[in-house]
Amino acid sequence: MLKTAWTVAIETLSWMEMQKLSEHMALNQTVKQLGVKDADAIRYAYGLVVETIRRRNLIDRFVNSVLKPKTISELNLGVQAFLRLYVYQNRVTKNWAKTDLIEAERIASLGRAILGWKTLLEVEPVLGFLLTRQIEPLLKTASDEARTGLQTFHPTWFVKYCFRLFGRDEAIAFLEGNVNPPPTYVRLNTLKASEDELLEKLGAEDVKLEKAEPLTHVYKVVGAKKPLAGTTSFKEGLFYIQDKASCFSTEAAAPKPGATVLDVCAAPGAKTTYIAQLMQNRGAVYSVDYSLRRLQVWKREVARMGVTIAEPVLADARAALPVALEADSVVLDPPCTGTGTFGRFPSAKWRLTPRSIEKMAEIQWQMINRCAEAVKAGGALTYSTCSVTMEENELVIERFLKWHPEFALAEIRPEFGAPGLRGLSKCRRLYPHLHESNGFFVAKLQKNNRC
């Protein structure tokens, strides 16, 4: 099992480096390519990959201090992956303290067996140094922003951005909270049964839950004897695994039974299925997404959750929507940089640049303008992202309000989160270190009745 897991981990990291894939996509591609069936090996490999890539900047800086004048980026992709995993397993998991030489030699032997001894020959001399070199000198010589980035595993440019946005102390609290994934939450599906019945069924499968106040059907998972997706309750659509920040943004939209709702960027279906649940499967939901592959997933989730009022629409929301309707509620969760989800998807940290924020903000601007056209008089547009940057959030909303005086910010219920920045106190922000959720932004824009 160990050799299979390390083979999968090395290949997954190599795909991520070569094609800039996410953890999940690279793992799926690797498992399919290698034909691996061992679920335990796959889970173990995924854990190695995620925890290694989470700390990639610190690990690479450490490896480069031993390799110099060479850098890790000059090496074969498989060797790069192995060295990162080698340092993670031998040093990071032991908090950079005394290493287990027997384990280290076993891992080196695995590397030779997987990659070939000739491939590893170039770095064999440095494996011993990687076991004895200390990390503190590297941290001491770094600037304040660079050191904070190494200690919290974030790019230096993003640390500087957060220092400017939040101030140093609050930025560090956020960055530390953004390191690890928040708790797992489930949203109970009252389209299938009453909440009490659902709790009883999940309890019978040894899933222990704790209510996530002040949200309506959302619970934190505090214990489970097996993966949630492997439970009978999951297969029967009795719950949806969904971060509470995402649930909050849907509750903020407050769709009513019998309403017409436009769900934009709807796949893979978390928003659509919760909207339909809040509407008690009465009314109409039109779910727009540009990706046919993602809409296939959407169809499976909609069917699993027992939703009967949703229709898929394949379209790019930056262009004119192919549905002529006036919606009571438009819910827009556009593509974003995901800077509030680094704990859950750490590889995104290393793919982003400051330019990424500008590019996303422009896409979001195009989409929110298109969505405004579909809101009926007296209706509302709910905008949310899983990013904490101001350019993708408050600045988009400020610009929107200047261009669309027929809209005004509305109060959001339930009361949750922190107020928006730049005086937009009716907007809500969620942070990992404060709210045990992904970082999120939500704004609700009400259209006046005279339009």
Q: b/e for 90-126, b at 16 or more Cβ within 10 A?
A: bbbeeebeebeeeebeebbebbbebbeeebbeebeeb
Q: Determine which one of 247, 371, 386, 427 is catalytic.
A: 386
- Identify whether 265 is a catalytic site residue: no
> Which 3 state secondary structure label does DSSP give 286?
strand
Per DSSP, the three-state class of 14 is helix
**Bond from prior residue into 322 cis (ω within 30 degrees of 0):** no
Contacts of 239 (CB under 8 A, 6+ apart): 186, 187, 188, 189, 198, 202, 228, 233
Both tokens of 60, joined, read 């690479």
| Residue 411 three-state SS | coil
- The answer to whether the Cα torsion of 165, 171, 175, 181 is positive or negative is negative
Select from 185, 182, 234 the least CA-distant residue to 205.
234
Cα three-residue angle 396-349-392, rounded to 5 degrees: 0
Catalytic residue positions, numbered: 386
